[in-house]
Structure 1
């Protein structure tokens, strides 16, 4: 008899064990696609797996070094669901993040944050202002994308300038990103045209 959890498993932990086994196989994508559909339809068992993955990411039982496919796919699922519950799961993960993660993971999270309708720029500003270099980097990149795409109020842009000017994050080339963003914001105020997608990619690559 099929189990109630994804991959026909009987429990959350059994599902996670199976996901770890197949994360580097062709089967993995189809499983993630199915989990995405189930999450969107609010399947409680799929959400139990998602919550456990995020808890394990927070505790370090799942790491970006060993479980990149599982973690990145879960972040992607949350983005595709796109509701306040999904947004809060990612934000809470960022706020408690106290372990090193690769720059690719920082970019992924930063790229996807602005896609949430629930996203609060003021909350991201607080994250960017933190002394922790990883959390700060996530906030800085997310804010840079919002600023470059002209999705911030005049007051928020003033605040971001102050935050960026005071930032001492020496990791992940934050200085270059900050300088490029401030330059583009100045051009916007002068009426210069906004950057196209391929030009945005050059700044964050």
Structure 2
């Protein structure tokens, strides 16, 4: 009986020792390992058929342990000056970001919440809005969002907290060329529909 109690106590001690390790374990799969470039496609919630509205590329920077999950920063390699932060706990990913394409426009913002469904796919929601003099702001679009891991971004920065981390983000996002609409006007929002590459002046 004493030996049985000793074994139970030892097992309990091992479990208590292991619990903190579980609490800070890196989620698998996650947004970075196995390919840090994803595409996200918006299907407009206001459309009865959830019409596809826009697709953008997202590059996730290396992560650091944070609370019960991992956290880092991200930028878009298809829409300029659009970047923000991400947090992943388990298969749940939460993101926020900012953009501003025109000095005459107010700041634009995005919020995304989605789940990693497999090593290469995810699904969730994406909301985009701009600040306005009206305190409730102006909604660009509410979306259902599909995510696909498509490969590796060519520029992988150092780990968070090391010198040059934010500077690299600022340089990379500023180097992304502008996007245009089908009519040739510049796209001012990541969720502007029917975006194409802007024609280079001759």
TM over 0.5: no
TM-score (norm 1): 0.23
Structure number, greater radius of gyration: 2
More strand by percentage: 2
Greater fraction helix:
1
Which TM-score applies when normalising by structure 2? Answer: 0.23
The higher relative CO (CA closer than 8 Å, separation ≥ 6) is in: 2
